[in-house]
Structures are given as structure tokens and as C-alpha cells.
Amino acid sequence: MPKFTPDNQLELLFNPDLIPNSVKAELPADLHIRPLARTDYHRAHIKVLSVLTSAPDPGLAAYQHAFDAQRSLANTYYTLVIVNKANDQVVAVGCVFIERKFLRNLGKVGHIEDIAVSKDMQGKKLGFRVIQALTGISESVGCYKTILNCSDDNIPFYKKCGYEKKENEMAKYN
């Protein structure tokens, strides 16, 4: 079984100090929350995303190219993971990306995307911790609001996380 890899041995997407200590403190001792790492392809990152929607395996090279593309956009992508220390595998993921605006005095908005908790770990407050962490990051980098889209089924979950329903989503798929 793979041994747990500490943060100082990983290439991380962003500074781990941005993850609120209050969230780290609430996680069980066998779990660890940190920014996405360049090697998380090997820790089932894509497999965890597949509980949310279609997430085909892009292969290691394309995965790392996508990671590098996110990292090259400074202060924009905050994708984080929760890792099971026992086997060094990702069990929960989420992202907040930061949009810069011209209105509201050049304000910033945090967009929460791609929240997923592996099936066997659902119902243990990990989704809640991911949203707490992403919301904390969004607030600490100065966003005036944090928003997300979700299905009707997930509205109760996001209400538990302190979010409220506002307006409607429009979509046009290619």
C-alpha cells in the first residue's frame, strides 16, 4: 500500500497556508486536506471526479499539462483534495477559481466547481469540509461573493454549508 506523502515532498498547486486551520483541525486524524499535487493523477483524483460526471482518464502527460496550465495562472485556481493517509489516495476534491471583474470596484468572485467525494466516504462531512475550505479561500483572497451551480438534489447539502438559492442557471452545451 502506498505510504502517505507529506506536503513538502509534493509540487502543490497553491500555498497550503491558504486552507483555513479551522478546517484542518476538524478533519479526522487519518485524513489530510491540501492543494492538488502534480502527482495526484496516481492518487485516484480522476476516479473520484467520476462520481460527479464523465471523467475519462486523460493520461499522465495531459493531466500534468492541465495542472501546469492551472498553476501558471497565478492566484486563480484553487483546487484542493482530501487524502486518506492510510493508502495515500484522494477521497474528496473541489475547486474555487477566482474571476476578476471591472464592476464593484474591480471586485473578485469565487466560483466553486467540481465537488466530489468518493462513494465509500460520502456522508462523513468531507463535502462540507471541502466547501468550508474553498469558501474560506475565496473570502481570504478578497472575493465579495462565492457562487456555484448545483442540482435540486444537492440544494439541501449546500444550504447546510451556508449557501442560499439565488437566481437561475442558464447553459448551452456544444
Give φ, ψ of 162 to 5 degrees: 95, 10
Distance between CA atoms of 40 and 151, rounded to whole angstroms? Answer: 27
| CB closest to ligand ACO, residue no | 127
Options 21-29, 58-66, 133-141, 156-164: segment touching ligand ACO (CB under 6 A): 156-164
Question: In this chain, which of 44, 82, 117, 133 binds ligand ACO, going by CB under 6 A?
Answer: 117
91 near ligand ACO, judged by CB under 6 A: no
Q: Considering beta carbons, is residue 24 or 64 the nearer one to ligand ACO?
A: 24
Say how many residues touch ligand ACO, by CB under 6 A.
23
Q: Considering beta carbons, is residue 10 or 47 the nearer one to ligand ACO?
A: 47
46 near ligand ACO, judged by CB under 6 A: no
Q: Considering beta carbons, is residue 52 or 69 the nearer one to ligand ACO?
A: 52
160 near ligand ACO, judged by CB under 6 A: yes
81 near ligand ACO, judged by CB under 6 A: no
51 near ligand ACO, judged by CB under 6 A: yes
136 near ligand ACO, judged by CB under 6 A: no
